[in-house]
Amino acid sequence: MNESQALLQSYIQKILSIQEERNYAITEEDLNKIALDLGLNEKDLAEIEKSFMGHWKRGSNFAKHNRFDDAIQELLVASALKPLHPEPYYELALAFQKKWLISGKVEDKEQAEYYAKRCLLLAPEHEKTYQLLSEIEKKTVRIEVPMEEDKYEKLAFIIAGILVVLFLLLFVFLFFV
């Protein structure tokens, strides 16, 4: 791990520990104090911004391609790097909601609601998040994930078709010949 990565890791750890310790969202003042305490300079802050954008974009793209576990991992890092930015929280909520609709696991639904509410704490005007919460409550959105065809089911259908044809041939042979 190089020095830049070590600073980034320290920055994230400090943010997470403050959030856990206080049990509320971190403030801009807290972020500035963390940066000063770690001795971060403009270059380091630019590296944090670059890392944030990378994780956020990867998370968004993974979600677009139904790779929700990968999306969630990336978006969690993005939200840790920029805890005052609402979009990663919205996208986390969306990824968990889609994962829940596929898996049916209550934990995924709860995570979707949690991250949607985190987004609204930061951006009370975020209309898409209100809509998402309504969809979660109503469970109106359905996700169609392409399923691999069951080979045995297809084979059984073919065999059944062959048996029907053989039966018809036998019937014709016995009664008409």
pLDDT in tens, 109-154: 999 999 999 899 888 999 999 999 999 988 744 444 444 555 567 7
Q: b/e string for 92-112 if b means 16 or more Cβ within 10 A?
A: bbbbbbbbbbeeeeeebbebb
pLDDT at res. 142: 47
* Degrees, nearest 5: CA angle 111-114-120: 140
Backbone φ and ψ of 145, nearest 5°: -105, 125
Angle (deg, nearest 10), helices 68-81 and 3-22 = 90
pLDDT at res. 109: 94
Whether the pTM exceeds 0.85: the reply is no
More reliable by pLDDT, 48 or 6: 48
**Could you read off the pLDDT of 60-88 as tens digits, one per residue?**
999 999 999 999 999 999 998 888 889 99
Query: For the chain, what is the mean pLDDT?
Result: 81
Q: What is the CATH number of domain 3-146?
A: 1.25.40.10
Domain chopping of the chain, boundaries: 3-146, 150-177
Give the model's confidence band at 47: pLDDT under 50 very low, under 70 low, under 90 confident, else very high. confident
